[in-house]
Amino acid sequence: MSPEPPPENQSAAPLFRTDQLPAIRRVMVPQDTNAMGTIFGGAILSDIDLAAAICAHRHHAGKVVTVAMDKVEFKKPVFVGDVMTIFAETLSVGTTSISVKTTVFAERALCMGRPTLVTEAQVTMVAVNEDFKPVPIERPKQ
Ligand SMILES: CC(C)(COP(=O)(O)OP(=O)(O)OC[C@H]1O[C@@H](n2cnc3c(N)ncnc32)[C@H](O)[C@@H]1OP(=O)(O)O)[C@@H](O)C(=O)NCCC(=O)NCCS
């Protein structure tokens, strides 16, 4: 049986921006769980990585790879049936790198609950060439 979500402080709900397009939004399923039945941190990190890559591709048309994940903070657990939403925003664009802030929310029990801030992370993506060497950021053609 899935663990029951604990009662929680809803103060993070106002941070959930319904006027912003999330990078990723999906229902968490049993395949995402750890041995305790809650959502495995690695599953969340995997989606954070994808969200950061989507954000980085707004700035660079070619390949990007993840060089660092910093300040990862798992603030609250995520449960099977929660709808997870990841927002990704650009913090800075360097010569070859793009720094992205990701913010992860869970809406409990298929959106029956208000959004809860569950995880935050800063991700640095690097533009690379065919040999996986860093190359200057090149804006996608409009
Ligand atoms: C990413 C990679 C190509 C960078 O190569 P590198 O020789 O270290 O590159 P550089 O030292 O020239 O740094 C490139 C950029 O990354 C930034 N960077 C490097 N290490 C960083 C770190 N730990 N944290 C934040 N930024 C970092 C540099 O500041 C630089 O940014 P800038 O050009 O905008 O100033 C190399 O480390 C790599 O291939 N890593 C493996 C990537 C990977 O497989 N990721 C997982 C799957 S996507």
Residue 7: pLDDT band by 50, 70, 90 thresholds?
low
Please report, as a single letter, which amino acid is at residue 54. Answer: I
For residues 12 and 115, the answer to whether their CB atoms sit within 8 Å is: yes
For residue 78 the two structure tokens come to 């995520």
Which of 14-18, 19-23, 122-126 shows the lowest mean pLDDT across its residues?
14-18
Domain residue ranges of the chain, discontinuous segments joined by +? 22-127
* Average model confidence (pLDDT) across the chain: 90
For residues 25 and 85, the answer to whether their CB atoms sit within 8 Å is: yes
Read off the pTM. 0.91
Residue 19: pLDDT band by 50, 70, 90 thresholds?
confident
Give the atom of ligand 1 at the shortest distance from the alpha carbon of 96.
33
Residue 2: pLDDT band by 50, 70, 90 thresholds?
low
Q: Give the model's pLDDT for residue 16.
A: 81
User: So what CATH class is 22-127?
Assistant: alpha beta
Q: What residues does 104 pair with on adjacent strands?
A: 86, 119
Task: Check pocket membership of 128 for ligand 1, CB cut-off 6 A.
Answer: yes
- CB contact set of 108 (below 8 Å; sequence gap of 6+): 5, 79, 81, 82, 116
Residue 64 has pLDDT above 90, yes or no: yes
Phi and psi (nearest 5°) for 62? -90, -160
User: Residues 85-138: pLDDT tens digits?
Assistant: 999 999 999 999 999 999 999 999 877 778 999 999 999 999 999 999 999 999
For residue 66 the two structure tokens come to 């993840």
- Test site for ligand 1: of 46, 60, 66, 97, most ligand atoms within 8 A of the Cβ: 97
CA of 40 to the centre of ligand 1 (A): 26
Residue 18: pLDDT band by 50, 70, 90 thresholds?
confident
Residue 70 has pLDDT above 80, yes or no: yes
- Test site for ligand 1: of 49, 63, 67, most ligand atoms within 8 A of the Cβ: 67
